[in-house]
Structure 1
Amino acid sequence: QTQLGLLKKEDISSQKKRVQDLAARLDHKTSIAQVAVELELIQEIRSNEFWDDVTPQMIEHVRRRLRGLIRLIDKEGRKQLTTNFLDHIGEAQEIEIEALREANSFRQFKLKTEAYLKEHKDHIALQKLRRGIPLTDSDLASIEKMLIDAGLDDPNQLRRLGGEDGNLAGYIRSVVGMDRSTVAAALNDALFKAQGAPASADQLDFLEKITDWLSEKGRIDPAKLWEKPFTDQHPAGVSGIFGDQVTTALVTTVKSLTSVNTA
């Protein structure tokens, strides 16, 4: 039904809710090895961002990955979540217990790290990170010490948080977000310099969307400015609101804002 609704461009909000409810129930079953292995995908489909640009192919991918897990949900939960989204129960795959321990360990480490960082946004080095001020070696050392003092000192887990490029500071920025006033000032300044005139009401609304995104998520791929939710206001996204010259200036500013530099 979900895939058919997408193909027909119908409202799939009810199907989306059922699938997210299903994922939420699976998220509470991570002590089961088969679920722990798919934890990243489960958490992804619980987020609203996943559904912004969802395609039938993405739904099919999720269906194939998770269809064997539906039997693991409590019976009462299955009654409430009757759907043909997961239409086939496959054989449970045996997973090494070590893989289960590792998945659960990393998940707990990640949750604890994110909670701690959000509670300590006023740390001077994190404030610099949120304002886009280049970090010194001393700043990086103070962040490391802060995490160590909090018991978050597992180098392997920290390396995983930094992703393939090892950008731990970038990951931390994505958790604590950017300072709202810093983002708003930089975007408005870039627009005024490129346009030579104050922003229109539509332009201010669009800049507000970018500011909301960066203040919450801390970083963005500039290509996202031509995708949902930035195409809600105009189908051409940022280009449809500002034109080429201002768009170039804004993209340059976004890249500058979201890069994590060291002094």
Structure 2
Amino acid sequence: VETQLKFLEEGIHYDELNEEEQALYEETFDDEMPDFISSQALNSWLFNKDTVDKVLATLMEKGIKVEGGDKLGKTIIFAKNHRHAEFIVERFNALYPEYHGNFARVIDHYVNYAQSLLDTFAGPLNLPQIAVSVDMLDTGVDIPEVVNLVFFKKVMSKAKFWQMIGRGTRLCPDLFGVGLPKERFLIFDFCGNFEFFRLKIKGKETQVAPSITERIFNIKLELIRKLERFAYQQEPHISYRNRLVEEMIGEISRLNRRHFVVKRHLKQVEKYSVKAAWEHLGDLDLNEIKEHLTPLIIPSDDDEPAKRFDHLIFTIELGELLGKNVNYHKEQVVKTAYQLSKLGTIPQVLAKQELIERVRTNEFWHFAEISDYEMVRKELRELIKFIAQEAHAIYYTDFSDEIITTQECPGEFRVEDLQDYKKKVNQYIREHQDHMAIYKLKHNKPLDKKDFMELEKILWGEVGTKDDYFKEFGDTPLSILVRSIVGLDQMAANEAFSEFLNDQNLDSKQSRFVKTIVDYVVKNGIMERRALQEEPFESIGSIVDLFPTETAIKIVSIIDSIKKNATEVGA
């Protein structure tokens, strides 16, 4: 159901409002009255009651019902931001007081006990029946009972759009009674998303953004890793690393090990709840933690501006350790200090006047070290919310909106019809290179049985079916296909052939031959022996003519071992 609302399409024009609404408009905006409010402003800093009310009325009237048509089926409303989500629920409760505030709930990363709310929503007989979400339910959540999806925001990524639609494609037997399974679902699009992609606009190929909690956890993880270097084995770096480790262990230890989601990753939870596991973190450790633990971390009760300031300072600290240019991020801190300097009437801000003024000087940044950055972070983080309150006024209005058009497109809608299997496989593999099995294949690490099972789960379960796979790729092994898509990491390839790449005794042709092999496996992932007799190798020369027999055998064995790591279960 594609519905165009006037304000969401054209914005709000003062001249087009009736006399009573114009008076309300003037009163609302006072001295800074704009002649026009763009559609982008709606649900960002201006929230209009009638716009939301019309969306909810359309859903309640036309949405798929269950329980003999008496109750709206499970529904996900994709909201633009947290404030928008809260306003939607507020308006629903005002319009439908008979549900006593339990029928619709906000479920996103900003609410307390979000995972518990999600678990409750997933229960077929539980309320809420409507989940209003910002990002949290866009992907990766399987609730078969969902029959209505409401797009109340624009989606710029085509891949993400299809993933969001995927929330409605899960089969659900007996949903409408014994022997009456779920055979269809409805999509309500109020923001022109279908039109956007129907025009064959590719959109912005963005991955689902991780939450601020996940980003902070991961950057602290990187800090711990970098602080292992010889250069930082003195105070205050040692104490700082130890404190970060304790914080990470604390966050992991707080996970509820009886929760079904946590149970799936219990091995990693137990492993990294012990301090000994943090003495040295290798690449596999980092990827294991990011894949299995980062998504589980419970958001703290700190306000969002404080968390964003934490992330900004941590980014500067990591950049300093890596020798990267972080001048832009430092400028953001200076701008923040400047904004705080204008809030001297707030006692908490005034108490930090000396530090705020010092942070604005070039001298501070010239001599500052990690301990100084940490001091700034701790002292100022609780003040950032005062800036956020000043950033942009929020307005709530009640102007009469108008439904311009409503177009219903009947027929079964399946995600599988939207994008052919081969494209979905390529897209998934390229976007999930931090998945442990995919990471191992890219970095020439041996696979275990669990890795092969994970690949089957992904390619034969999540992305499509086993039949889809064999129709498209025949008997190509799963691991070989993945390696061919992601290729081989350059450093991993260099390491495999390091003996020859570092051999100063090789002549120019031998050196060129080896470097060509490295380039080949980086691009293609694996290499068959017969490729050595074809271009681009043939024009360089035969391996048996260029190298002594023993050396040629060793080169071929390395080529074979790279393929072996992608096809056989490691020891």
TM-score, normalised by the number of residues in structure 1: 0.50
**Cα offsets for 1:117-146 (capped at 9, x unmatched):** 122222221111122222122222333344
In structure 2, which of residues 443, 452, 455 is the aligned counterpart of residue 143 of structure 1? 455
- State the distance in 2 between where 1:118 and 1:213 align: 19
Q: Report the alpha carbon displacement of residue 162 of structure 1 after superposing the two structures with TM.
A: 5.2
In structure 1, which of residues 186, 201, 209 is the aligned counterpart of residue 496 of structure 2? 186
**Could you say if the C-alpha distance between residues 191 and 180 of structure 1 is closer, same or farther in structure 2, counting changes exceeding 3 Å?**
closer
- State the distance in 1 between where 2:446 and 2:454 align: 14
In structure 1, which of residues 235, 248, 251 is the aligned counterpart of residue 556 of structure 2? 251
In structure 2, which of residues 417, 433, 441 is the aligned counterpart of residue 129 of structure 1? 441
Q: Report the alpha carbon displacement of residue 230 of structure 1 after superposing the two structures with TM.
A: 0.5
* 1:232 partner letter: S
* 2:480 partner letter: G
1:156-235 equivalences under 5 Å are 156-160=467-471, 163-164=474-475, 167-189=477-499, 198-234=505-541
Q: Which moved more, 1:210-219 or 1:243-252?
A: 243-252
**Could you say if the C-alpha distance between residues 209 and 226 of structure 1 is closer, same or farther in structure 2, counting changes exceeding 3 Å?**
same
- State the distance in 2 between where 1:198 and 1:120 align: 41
- State the distance in 2 between where 1:163 and 1:207 align: 32
* 1:187 partner letter: F
* 1:108 partner letter: D
1:1-263 equivalences under 5 Å are 108-147=420-459, 151-160=462-471, 163-164=474-475, 167-189=477-499, 198-234=505-541, 237-259=542-564, 260-263=567-570
- State the distance in 1 between where 2:456 and 2:560 align: 25
Contact 1:191 1:246 in 2 (8 A): no
Q: Report the alpha carbon displacement of residue 153 of structure 1 after superposing the two structures with TM.
A: 2.4
* 2:545 partner letter: G
* 2:456 partner letter: E
**Could you say if the C-alpha distance between residues 119 and 241 of structure 1 is closer, same or farther in structure 2, counting changes exceeding 3 Å?**
farther
* 1:179 partner letter: D
The structure whose Rg is larger is 2
Q: Report the alpha carbon displacement of residue 148 of structure 1 after superposing the two structures with TM.
A: 6.2
**Could you say if the C-alpha distance between residues 245 and 148 of structure 1 is closer, same or farther in structure 2, counting changes exceeding 3 Å?**
closer
**Could you say if the C-alpha distance between residues 160 and 129 of structure 1 is closer, same or farther in structure 2, counting changes exceeding 3 Å?**
farther
* 1:152 partner letter: V
The alignment partner of 1:153 has SS state of: coil
**Could you say if the C-alpha distance between residues 131 and 198 of structure 1 is closer, same or farther in structure 2, counting changes exceeding 3 Å?**
farther
**Could you say if the C-alpha distance between residues 229 and 115 of structure 1 is closer, same or farther in structure 2, counting changes exceeding 3 Å?**
same
- State the distance in 1 between where 2:555 and 2:472 align: 29
Contact 2:449 2:569 in 1 (8 A): yes
**Could you say if the C-alpha distance between residues 169 and 126 of structure 1 is closer, same or farther in structure 2, counting changes exceeding 3 Å?**
same
The alignment partner of 2:420 has SS state of: helix
- State the distance in 2 between where 1:161 and 1:199 align: 43
**Cα offsets for 1:89-113 (capped at 9, x unmatched):** xxxxxxxxxxxxxxxx8x9211221
The alignment partner of 1:121 has SS state of: coil
- State the distance in 1 between where 2:569 and 2:466 align: 21
Q: Report the alpha carbon displacement of residue 183 of structure 1 after superposing the two structures with TM.
A: 1.8
**Could you say if the C-alpha distance between residues 171 and 184 of structure 1 is closer, same or farther in structure 2, counting changes exceeding 3 Å?**
same
**Cα offsets for 1:53-89 (capped at 9, x unmatched):** xxxxxxxxxxxxxxxxxxxxxxxxxxxxxxxxxxxxx
Q: Report the alpha carbon displacement of residue 214 of structure 1 after superposing the two structures with TM.
A: 0.7
The alignment partner of 1:261 has SS state of: coil
More strand by share: 2
- State the distance in 1 between where 2:470 and 2:500 align: 35
Asked which structure has the greater RCO (Cα within 8 Å, sep 6+), the reply is: 1
**Cα offsets for 1:36-57 (capped at 9, x unmatched):** xxxxxxxxxxxxxxxxxxxxxx
The sequence identity of aligned pairs, in percent, is 25
Q: Which runs of 5+ in 2 are unaligned?
A: 1-416
**Could you say if the C-alpha distance between residues 152 and 130 of structure 1 is closer, same or farther in structure 2, counting changes exceeding 3 Å?**
same
How many residues were matched structurally? 151
Q: Which runs of 5+ in 1 are unaligned?
A: 1-104
- State the distance in 1 between where 2:492 and 2:510 align: 18
* 2:479 partner letter: A
More helix by share: 1
**Cα offsets for 1:182-211 (capped at 9, x unmatched):** 22222232688xxx8643333222111111
Contact 2:446 2:569 in 1 (8 A): yes
Q: Report the alpha carbon displacement of residue 161 of structure 1 after superposing the two structures with TM.
A: 5.1
- State the distance in 1 between where 2:491 and 2:444 align: 11
* 2:511 partner letter: L
Q: Report the alpha carbon displacement of residue 222 of structure 1 after superposing the two structures with TM.
A: 0.8
**Could you say if the C-alpha distance between residues 134 and 162 of structure 1 is closer, same or farther in structure 2, counting changes exceeding 3 Å?**
farther
- State the distance in 1 between where 2:449 and 2:482 align: 16
* 1:206 partner letter: F
- State the distance in 2 between where 1:156 and 1:136 align: 24
TM-score, normalised by the number of residues in structure 2: 0.24
Partner of 1:40: none
